[in-house]
Amino acid sequence: MISKSLLQAHLLPLILLMFLSGSFSSPVLAGPMVEPGRVPDQGIQPRLIRDHSGRIHLVYFKKIPALEKSRKGDLYYRQWDPQRGDWQDSIKVSSQSYSHLGPVSKASIAIDEAGRIHVVWFLPSLGAYRYSRSNIGRSRFEDERSPVIAHSDGLEAEASIAIQGARITISWHAGDLSHEYKRAVYTLTSTDYGQTFGTVKLASDPALGACACCSLATRFDGKGHLQIAYRSAIRDEGRHMQLLTMGSAGKDNSLRTVGEWQLNSCPVSTNVLNGDWLAFEIKGQILMMNVTDGNEATLVSASEIRQKHPAIAINDNGDRLLVWGEAAGYFAGGSLQMKMYNAQSEVIETADHSSQNIPQFSIAAAVARPDGSFLVLY
């Protein structure tokens, strides 16, 4: 018979070694299904959104087939048909074809309480933004308009649209391209579902500047405050991620630097705000944070390859899916990456989809279905 002391002498060191090597690491939880797939029509730069009734909506850019080697095309809209298990026929959003600048100039979408889809996009050739909205039945889109007239100099990246009730707010940054430390963020608001817009308002502190070719993200929080996540350009090298919160009537405004990046050139980056969560890039790595709990942003997953263009989807159970691309350079979409968390921010197991490649000039988008599963398009 083997003595207790002998077992301890031989097994305890082995158990300690297994623990240190990760053999007894915490189990990864199993979670909801994730279904990745290509954008319909071989489109790029998808934007996905789900309305309060559970319907899923998609806006994407489709190149003109005869001009395949160019970046010229149009925006299209589709709605998912659960009975057919497929997308409904596409509806053209843009009435004027245009050439995109890649992910930083993608369209921004939102849906109002009446069911209208609101879209804003960037026309590089004109250095201008265009806006359109659908009818309530989403069977057609109005002729595009240019609501942003003032402070439209030096436009290089997308505007962001956010909706609360009848309030539709478009946010963007503008200013001298050769002096990014002088640029600032501006907003333009409609209080009648986009029928008319008011006057442009300065949102950010001009002393912080704004990184010209980095896009921004916006949302209305539970208090009705507009939050804007944007990259500053302090002295042309403080390319930090800033979280600006604007209260109603200019009250209760606050600013928080949530990610520091000393860089004297534009990284051509994007970020995302969804629910209480913000994801952004710092030094080629994706960080994520809850914007309401006061905690710092944390690294999602270390990689020697640049991580970029994050998207977040959250289901009704609080499960959170983060997707992004990994590739060198500005325009390569790269390999599809994802990480899922439950409502307690514990990691949930997902399949490896890194063999699926995001097309050039594109991004991945994600949305939660009513059954709790996730749809990812790239």
Domain-by-domain residue ranges, the chain? Answer: 271-378
pLDDT for position 68: 73
pLDDT for position 24: 40
Q: E strand or H helix at 15, and its extent?
A: helix 4-21
Per DSSP (E only), the strands in 272-331 are: 272-274, 277-282, 285-290, 298-299, 307-314, 320-326
Structure tokens at 118: 């609101």
pLDDT for position 247: 87
Residues in the chain, pLDDT under 50:
1-26
Phi, psi of 145 (to 5 degrees): -125, 170
Q: Which amino acid is at 300?
A: V
Residue 208 to residue 202: CA distance in whole angstroms? 13
Identify any residues that bridge with 163 across adjacent strands, giving them in sequence order: 168
Q: Could you identify the residue written with the tokens 């090597």?
A: 21
Residue 288 to residue 213: CA distance in whole angstroms? 21
Number of H helices, E strands in the chain: 1, 30
Query: Are the C-beta atoms of 301 and 260 separated by less than 8 Å?
Result: no
pLDDT for position 365: 98
Burial category of 264 from C-beta neighbours within 10 Å (exposed 0-12, middle 13-18, buried 19 and up): exposed
Question: How are beta strands 347-349 and 29-30 bridged, if at all?
Answer: parallel
Q: How many CB atoms lie within 10 A of CB 263?
A: 16
pLDDT for position 27: 55
Question: 206: helix, coil or strand?
Answer: helix
In angstroms and rounded to an integer, the radius of gyration of the C-alpha atoms of the chain is 22
pLDDT for position 253: 86
At residue 270's C-alpha, the angle toward residues 267 and 274, to 5°, is 155
Q: E strand or H helix at 131, and its extent?
A: strand 128-133
Residue 324 to residue 307: CA distance in whole angstroms? 7
DSSP summary character for residue 145 = B
**What are the tens digits of pLDDT across the range 70-81?**
899 999 999 999
Phi, psi of 373 (to 5 degrees): -75, 170
Query: Are the C-beta atoms of 106 and 47 separated by less than 8 Å?
Result: yes
Residue 235 to residue 264: CA distance in whole angstroms? 9
pLDDT for position 235: 96
| Mean pLDDT estimate for the chain | 92
What is the sign, positive or negative, of the torsion defined by CA atoms of 149, 272, 254, 176?
A: negative
Give the residue from 298, 306, 338, 336 showing the smallest Cα distance to 319.
338
Contacts of 323 (CB under 8 A, 6+ apart): 310, 311, 312, 313, 336, 337, 338, 364, 365, 366, 376
